[in-house]
Amino acid sequence: MNNEIFTKEVVALYRALPIPIVATLFNSIIIAFILKDQVPHDSIMLWIGLNFLILAVRLTSFLRFKEFIHPQNVTLAYRIYMVGIIGSGVIWGTSIFYLLPNSSIHMMMLIVIIGGMVAGGVGSSSYRPESYIFYNLFVITPYALHFMLDNSNDNSWMVGTALVLFAAMMIISSKNFHANFTEVVLLQRQQEELIDHLEQEQLYVQHLNDNLLQEIVEKEKYQTELITALEEANQAAIAKDAFFATMSHELRTPLNSIIGFSQILMKRNDTPNEFSTFIEKILISGRHLLDLVNTILDFSKMKAGKMELHPTTFAVSEIFQDVAIIGEPLANKRHISLKFPTTYDKSMHGDRKMIQQIMINILSNAIKFSPEHSSITINYECSDNHLFTICDQGSGIAAEHLETIFDPFTQIEGVTQTAIKGTGLGLAIVKEMIHAHHGKIWATSTLGEGSCFYFSIPIEP
């Protein structure tokens, strides 16, 4: 930082150099004109010649300072400047010895001009404090000493003292000028650093803005792709659900025909016994396939949002009677006893057919996964909600599977599971039907002891 300030000081000295050169030339001519009749002609010519010589040196250094004012040549440039200003100060200071006129008026004019030169040097030579101090002392000191030591005039010491005070004031002014200049240089340096910092910040902000703009463009592109993919997925889902619904509906007609003709053949007395077994298998497989088709059709309606409620008010006992009619034949085939609640006189509001299907689906699973000669208990309670419970004595369900058994296409694995598997949609459909009634379903189970399924339907519709 000190080297930078020094360089700026030297540059400022050279930039201000034309003013003292012109002032020196002009004042030299004025003094020569004033003193042409007061001092010998040879003295004036000598003094003018020396002034012109030092002016030539200073002018040459000014014209060439741009060539050598580099960081490595600043000291040399300053030394050349000091040679010029000290030489000028010596020439002006020594003029007291050969340019002193006898006339007091001419003497006063000479002192005024020399004082003006010293005062003017404050603004052009104070960028470095020592440069002006040397100039000041070399000019004023000979004149001050001459007048202070002059015994020929009683008032000469007053002139010498005034010159000393004047020189001191100019030196103080020079120091203040230099301090202000240094402060300006420091402020300028801080301003440059601040500007550099702001430019860096601006570049950084611009970089952030560019990155942010790029991210926004990429996110918009990604969002557009996601929207397109979502639309395609929705269209695919709609097409899939429509396909399932159409195929399920179209399959029910031929399946009903197969089941119907199988039942007719089973009832005919003229059907050979050797075909009865095959016809029975066709009938069982047809019914199972029809159940699968009906399940898929219900699931497709549910996913398409077409599962509509038809609520009515009915007795809870009617639900258990209908479930018993359908469930007991299935249970009797495996020698499983069904225990229904004995006392219930409650009524509820909801879609009777849908609640009946919920009970049948859960009960069918319980029968399917219960061992032979076991029992299944159905309970009902009514307090804050209609609470239905179906408990079996099957192999149970692992705790980690209790949360996933209600997901679509999830199979309940059990050791007594029959060879014919379902779609894994039964409990998923049950869950959606219960949610349509604003109810909830859950299960508890112990491996090796059995499982209990609970579902509740709000009393208020």
pLDDT digits (tens, 9 = 90+) for 420-456: 455 677 888 899 889 989 999 999 999 989 999 999 9
Nearest in space to 347 (alpha carbons), one of 307, 310, 311, 308: 311
pLDDT of residue 307: 66
Pairing of strands 450-458, 440-446: antiparallel
Give mean pLDDT, residues 357-366: 91
More confident residue, 242 or 232: 232
Statement: residue 204 has pLDDT above 80:
yes
376 contacts 391 by C-beta, under 8 angstroms: yes
pLDDT higher than 80, residue 298: no
Lowest-pLDDT range of 229-238, 354-363, 369-378, 418-427: 418-427
Contact 385, 254 (CB under 8 A): no
Three-point CA angle 397, 400, 402, nearest 5°: 55
- For residue 88, the model assigns a pLDDT of 92
Distance CA 319, CA 314 (A): 9
Tell me how far CA of residue 184 lies from CA of 11, 131, 181, in angstroms: 14, 19, 5
For residues 310-323, give the mean pLDDT: 90
* 20-26 own/partner pairs: CB under 8 Å, 24+ apart: 20/58, 20/85, 20/88, 20/120, 20/121, 20/124, 20/125, 21/55, 21/58, 21/59, 21/62, 23/117, 23/120, 24/51, 24/55, 24/88, 24/117, 25/51, 25/55
pLDDT at residue number 427: 87
Q: How far is the C-alpha of 162 from the C-alpha of 118, rounded, in Å? A: 14
